Amino acid sequence: MQKLGRLLTAMVTPFDEAGEVDYVRARKLARALLKSGSDGLIVSGTTGESPTLTTDEKIRLFAELKQEIGDEGAIVAGTGNYSTRESIELTREAERVGVDACLLVVPYYNKPTQEGLYRHFSEIAKKTSLPCIMYNVPGRTSCNLASDTVIRLSKVENIVGVKEASANFKQISEIVQGVDDDFLVYSGNDGDTLLLMTLGGYGVVGVITHLVGVQTKDMINKLLEGKTEEAAAIHRHLLPLVDAMFMVTNPIPLKFAMNELGFNVGPLRLPLCEPDEKTANTILSELKNHTIDLGAF
C-alpha cells in the first residue's frame, strides 16, 4: 500500500471560465500542493465539488493526477455516494486507473441505519483491493457513523481509516481507543487537528492546507516531537483562517481566496456561487494576517 501520509489536502477542482474541468491547472495545482506540505491529495471530495462532477470527469481526474505525481504522493479518490452499487462501480474504475486509496463518504439523504452503514462500507471494500477510508461528516450527510460501527468496520482488512468530521471528541476518543494502532484516524476539520492528534489520531484531511500546508505540517511535526506549546501556538494562529474559510459553504471561501491571491482555480459550479461582498471582505481581511505557503503553479 502506498504510504498515505499524515497531511492530505482535499483538493479543489479547477474549472475554466466556461465551467469545464481544467485538467492542466489541476495537474499543476496537485504538484504545487505536494511542494507546500501535502503528503497526498483527496480528489473529487466535497472540496473538489464532487456532487457536480460527472463520472467521466472524476475518472479522468483520478487518472491524470496519478500520472502527474506518480509515487511522489498519494491520490485518494472520492468514490463514495448514497448508492452502494454506484460507489462500487466508481471505486473499481478508480482502482483501474491506478489511484492509491479511496475515500467513501457516509451515504447522504437516504439516512441508513448503523447496520446499513456497516453493510455499505464492507460491501464496497469486498469489491476492491484499494485501501478504503471512511468519511463521517454528519453536518452534510445528516447521518452519523457511530464509534462502535467504525470499530466493527476497522476489522475489515482493507478498511484502513476514517476521516472524522463530526467534531464529537467523545466519539473520536472511543474510536481511537477501540481500533488497532495501524488504523488511521484523520481529522476532517482543520480546526480539530491538534486536539484529535493529542487523542491519538493520525493526521488531517485539510482545506486550509491549500494555503498554509507548510505551517500545518510544521504543527503536526512539532506535536509528534513533543513540542506541544509550539504546536498549539501554530494552531491558535491558524484558527481565524479556518473560521474565514468556513464562513459559508466550503469550497466557496477557498476558491475565492485562491483566485484573489493569484492562484487561478476558476469559478464554482452551480448551485454553489461566489461569496457576498461582506463575506468576501472578511476573507480578504483575514488573508492579510497569514503567510501563504502555496507557490505559483
| CATH code, domain with 211 | 3.20.20.70
Phi, psi of 178 (to 5 degrees): -95, -10
Averaged pLDDT for residues 35-61: 98
- The domain total for the chain is 1
Q: Are residues 217 and 40 in contact, defined by beta-carbon separation less than 8 angstroms?
A: no
pLDDT at 169 over 80: yes
Averaged pLDDT for residues 21-29: 98
The tens digit of pLDDT for each residue in 86-141 reads 999 999 999 999 999 999 999 999 999 999 999 999 999 999 999 999 999 999 99
Averaged pLDDT for residues 195-219: 98
Instruction: Indicate whether 97 belongs to any domain.
Output: yes
Q: Which residues pair with 15 in a beta bridge?
A: 21
Instruction: Indicate whether 294 belongs to any domain.
Output: no
Q: What angle do CA 277, 282, 288 make, to 5 degrees?
A: 130
Instruction: Indicate whether 138 belongs to any domain.
Output: yes
pLDDT of residue 3: 80
Q: Quote the domain boundaries for residue 230.
A: 7-287
pLDDT at 223 over 80: yes
User: In the structure grid, which three cell numbers stand for residue 269, read together?
Assistant: 459550479
> pLDDT tier at 2 (50, 70, 90 boundaries)?
low
pLDDT of residue 157: 95
pLDDT of residue 195: 97
Instruction: Indicate whether 280 belongs to any domain.
Output: yes
Instruction: Indicate whether 297 belongs to any domain.
Output: no
Instruction: Indicate whether 1 belongs to any domain.
Output: no
Averaged pLDDT for residues 245-266: 98
Instruction: Indicate whether 16 belongs to any domain.
Output: yes
What's the whole-number average pLDDT of the chain? 97
Rounded to two decimals, what is the model's pTM?
Answer: 0.96
Instruction: Indicate whether 127 belongs to any domain.
Output: yes
pLDDT at 1 over 60: no
pLDDT of residue 18: 95
Residues 6+ apart with CB under 8 A from 42: 8, 9, 10, 11, 48, 76, 78, 103, 205
Residues with a catalytic annotation lie at: 135, 163
- Burial of residue 226 (CB within 10 Å: 0-12, 13-18, 19+) is exposed
Pairing relationship of beta strands 74-78 and 132-136 according to DSSP bridges: unpaired
pLDDT of residue 19: 96
